[in-house]
Chains A and B, each alone.
Chain A
Amino acid sequence: SYELTQPDSVSVALGQTARISCGRTNIADYNVHWYQQRPGQAPLLVIYKNNNRPSGIPERFSGSNSGNTATLIISRAQFEDEGDYYCQLWDRSVAMFGGGTKLSIL
């Protein structure tokens, strides 16, 4: 099991909004980062510090973090957004990753 809890899979219709959750007690006390991983590729940082996009990441990616749940939000989901998504935080200089969520675009 993982200390950060993510759903195994999320499906969303093309053009709709996908939401992927990441749960941990008092996760709002941490900065949560999100990574996208396509098959056979290295992870890509898509959200840092809860709700910020690195340069080059489309505006449709956003995030939130409150209470015990952080959420990655993908608006107007595209086929190219399919892949695995991981939440991550640093706890006393040790990185923790969620178990990953497979996003499917229907």
Chain B
Amino acid sequence: QVTLKESGPVVVRPTETLTLTCVVSGFSLNNNRMSVSWIRQLPGKALEFLAHIWPNDDENYAKSLNDRLTIAKDASKGQVVLTMTNMNPADTGTYFCARRTLTYNYGMDVWGQGTTVTVSS
């Protein structure tokens, strides 16, 4: 069974750096047919792509947040980590990781449950 599970702090202070971890099981992060993205959803808003990491460790970022984001993976641990610097209250929302698979022509077929982050002093 393929699962993804996000974890991280519930609350971060303004200007701090957020670190989120996505633990995957049921597939390998070295599998060339699969890769992992981070997506967020601000309250009452649409899904918003943040970052993506490929099996060869290539990275892609949302243009609007590119200078604040870093994505990395540790395939041996089955983990994908997202860091976002200089957090502010507008970043409050739910953060998801999702698997992208060639089986479904790069649709995101499995999502984590999401982790909620509040930015507040």
Contacts and interface: CB of A to CB of B under 8 A. Distances in A.
Instruction: Tell me the interface secondary structure of chain B in the complex.
Output: strand
Contacts of A43: 47, 96, 98, 108, 111
Interface stretch (B13-21, B22-30, B82-90, B99-107): B99-107
Nearest to A95: B49
Instruction: Tell me the interface secondary structure of chain A in the complex.
Output: strand
Nearest to B106: A90
Contacts of A48: 104-105, 107, 109
Interface residues of A, number: 24
A90 B105 CA distance: 10
Nearest to A31: B105
A51 to B, nearest CB: 11
Interface of A: 2, 31, 33, 35, 37, 42-45, 48-49, 52, 54, 86, 88, 90, 93-100
Given A45-B109, A86-B46, A90-B106, 7 more contacts: A33-B105, A35-B108, A42-B113, A45-B104, A45-B107, A86-B47, A95-B39
